[in-house]
Structure 1
Amino acid sequence: MLDLGVMLQELAQKQARLLASYCINAQPGESILIQGSTVGLPVLEALHKEILLRGARPILKLEFPYQTAEFVNLASDEVLASLAPGVMEEIHGIAGSIRVETPMAPKQGARPERMQRWSQTLHPMAEVRRQRKWCLTQYPTEYAAEAAGMGFEDYQRFVMQAMFLDHDDPVAKWGEVRERQARLIERLAQASEIRILSENTDLILNVKGRTWANSDGKRNMPSGEVFTGPIETSASGHIFYDLPTLYQGREVQGIHLTFKDGQVVDAHAEVGNDVLQAALNTDQGARYLGEIGIGTNYGIQVPSKNILFDEKIGGTVHLAVGSSYPETGGLNKSTIHWDMICDLRTGGEILLDGEVFQRDGVFV
């Protein structure tokens, strides 16, 4: 096990090694896109080196803090509606990509309606990237620690434990996750109807014929979930997402959604309602579900206002409005994909065709 006093630089090197070898599996001659803020420079530098050591070609794209918000707010309508020349050609030429998130305190956030327009402009590029190898990860920041209610040193420990970087062989630990989730998928694959119940939630979905994916850390690091795309017109009922989150730089809390024939027909957020409404109005597919995911990572138990971590919490379920993952059989198309998280650890249940699959966050 790692000494808790190991410097952040050493942890960045371990994270970079795991990303380059296990998550993205960079091969000689491949071009690998690396994106992230200068705030995460230690892990970006380490990633650049690891990609080179594997004989691949790193393409490093650095951003300064709040760059996206500044661009979206100040760009002309013409610039906001078009990609720079050569961007699509470069994306078509990569074999894979790694995105390193570095959460920062909300400052001058991008205006929601303009952010959605920019998301629509980026959509063709995002679609190409999704067809390649890709991984999303996070580097610890002071703000992320504060949002999670932890000291910075404790938060570093939290992040590294979530990625199994405190173990001598993180890859072996992710192999254990894969095997455990495969057993859950065996049962889920037999189900047609999923019902989610809690004090403020009663939602029914149909997943008959859809494929469940085993998220074992190769696309999200950390990970720990199983997910699929529900039948697009099947969602019926209401759900309350009680875990707060940050979406496009804005805090959103207490989301209430009501579904009929698969579509969101009523929506309200107790905090950040303008962000929610702008997202749901992005396009037609934004009001339909593209994913249902069940968190299995019981090593993550404390909500941190970070979707990458919180959607993996063992005992939670998350449903994303917007685009589906084609490999699950999902058909919904949208320029957004927003995971919203419902905590079932106190009085919640997941039923498969009427049979209890999970109660109070524990698989039965």
Structure 2
Amino acid sequence: MTYDPVRHAVLLADYCVTARPGDRVLISGSTLALPLIEALHRTLLERGARPVLRLSYPTQQEDVQRLASDDVLDSLHPVEIEDARALDASIRILTPTPPVADVPASRAARWRAAQAPVALSRLHPRWNLTLYPTPFGAEAAGMTLPEYETFVARAMFLDTPDPVQKWGEIRDFQAGLITRLALADDVHIVSAGTDLHLSVRGRNWSNSDAKRNMPSGEVFTAPLERSANGVAHFDLPTLYGGRVVRGIDLTFKDGEVVEARAEEGEDVLRAALETDEGARFLGELGIGTNAGIQQPSMNILFDEKIGGTVHLAVGQAYAENGGTNTSAVHWDMICDLRKGGRVTLDGEPFQVDGHFVS
């Protein structure tokens, strides 16, 4: 299967954001993604939409974090906020690039905090986050570029005759999971280094069917803010702010992270948790279901969807799930349950060794 940016663009425009005539649709991404950006721009124009391009060079964000004055780093111009509010839909394209080592974690955290008003304004019903395969993405995933392009295409089901139908099948399967999860109170997650209880009583579960993330394949909610108690070990590494962070261990007491360690990138972890008061509380519990993604690729957009994993995000909760935690941070951390892990709902098995229990 060869990755086809035109096929990708059509799926984004017609399925993910359902572009309509007159819609002001933001396309933001690096110049590395120009083949997809060009295809998406043309597709949106053909649909009668008004595409708005926000192009960046590969290290632009890191340069701002490293070089900006305090005033620029810590604030947004009002025009930026008003411009974001005027959007009808938005598509953000990730382009994996090598991490920039000389950006202090504290400055990166300050920049993310300042961006919060714009980020929140984009959380309208029609937004999507996707990825364009790059050579560094392939290197990070341990693949050749052709292998990585195939990996990306298959994760999005671009290799099927009808990707929209396939995502519909996933939506139906996940709806069945949500029927069970909606009745639960206590969720107990156990794996090597993890023994964590949290409550989801009365919270809404979202069926992530690639409308907002492409690829997708997860169900998620916002745990009760003060309910998490125990320890969690996240064994799949992540990139945060361009830095590799691996081997994360968090200890929760009454919902709050009271201890935090990491085998690599601990300074990044601690800086993120100090961003604001909400950064030490959970905003999300997610359960990955995408059987087409079975190996980590050092990219959270894919890795959090791996079938047989769960992920917890510190920071911002989605209001649609009933969560009230607010933060400039939303950092997903992944726990692999495929070898000896389990999830129970009020003491009843829900997932064992990465497989759902019927």
Q: Is the alpha carbon distance of 1:314 and 1:113 closer, same or farther for their aligned partners in structure 2, counting shifts above 3 Å?
A: same
Deviation, 1:132, is 4.6
Q: TM-score, normalised to structure 2's length?
A: 0.98
Q: Is the 1:37–1:65 Cα contact (8 Å) retained in structure 2? A: yes
Query: Partner residue of 1:243?
Result: 236
Give the AA of the match of 1:38. Answer: T
1:352 corresponds to 2:337? no
Deviation, 1:84, is 3.2
Q: Is the alpha carbon distance of 1:203 and 1:113 closer, same or farther for their aligned partners in structure 2, counting shifts above 3 Å?
A: same
Deviation, 1:118, is 1.0
Q: Is the 2:101–2:243 Cα contact (8 Å) retained in structure 1? A: no
Query: Partner residue of 1:81?
Result: 74
Query: Partner residue of 2:42?
Result: 49
2:192 to 185, 192, 199: 199
1:62 corresponds to 2:73? no
Query: Partner residue of 2:174?
Result: 181
Query: Partner residue of 2:207?
Result: 214
After the TM superposition, which parts of structure 1 deviate over 2 Å for at least 4 consecutive aligned residues?
A: 107-110
Q: Is the 2:289–2:308 Cα contact (8 Å) retained in structure 1? A: yes
SS of match in other structure, 1:65: coil
Q: Percent identity?
A: 58
1:294 to 281, 284, 287: 287
2:219 to 218, 226, 233: 226
Deviation, 1:85, is 4.8
Q: Distance in 2 between matches of 1:126 and 1:68?
A: 15
2:128 to 135, 146, 154: 135
CA RMSD of aligned residues (A): 0.9
Give 1:83-102 correspondences, 5 Å limit.
Answer: 83-102=76-95
Q: TM-score, normalised to structure 1's length?
A: 0.97
Q: Distance in 2 between matches of 1:109 and 1:39?
A: 22
Give the AA of the match of 1:62. Answer: L
Deviation, 1:288, is 0.2
1:268 corresponds to 2:268? no
Query: Partner residue of 2:108?
Result: 115
Give the AA of the match of 2:8. Answer: Q
Q: Distance in 1 between matches of 2:246 and 2:316?
A: 22
Give the AA of the match of 2:238. Answer: T
For residues 58-87 of structure 1, give each alpha carbon's deviation from its aligned partner in whole angstroms, at most 9, with x where no partner exists. Answer: 000000011100111100001112223521
Structure 1 stretch 89-98 or stretch 206-215: which is displaced more?
Answer: 89-98
For residues 234-279 of structure 1, give each alpha carbon's deviation from its aligned partner in whole angstroms, at most 9, with x where no partner exists. Answer: 0000010000111110000000000000000000010000000000
- Give aligned pairs, total: 357
Which consecutive unaligned segments of at least 5 residues does structure 2 have? none
Q: Is the 1:240–1:257 Cα contact (8 Å) retained in structure 2? A: yes
Q: Distance in 2 between matches of 1:232 and 1:346?
A: 29
For residues 178-219 of structure 1, give each alpha carbon's deviation from its aligned partner in whole angstroms, at most 9, with x where no partner exists. Answer: 000000000111110000001211000000000010000000
Q: Is the 2:291–2:306 Cα contact (8 Å) retained in structure 1? A: yes
SS of match in other structure, 2:115: helix
Structure 1 stretch 128-137 or stretch 346-355: which is displaced more?
Answer: 128-137
Deviation, 1:151, is 1.2
Q: Distance in 2 between matches of 1:358 and 1:204?
A: 15
Deviation, 1:135, is 0.3
Give the AA of the match of 1:240. Answer: H
Q: Is the 1:109–1:250 Cα contact (8 Å) retained in structure 2? A: no
Deviation, 1:121, is 1.1
SS of match in other structure, 1:187: helix
Deviation, 1:162, is 0.4
Query: Partner residue of 1:33?
Result: 26
Q: Is the 2:250–2:261 Cα contact (8 Å) retained in structure 1? A: yes
Query: Partner residue of 2:155?
Result: 162
SS of match in other structure, 1:17: helix
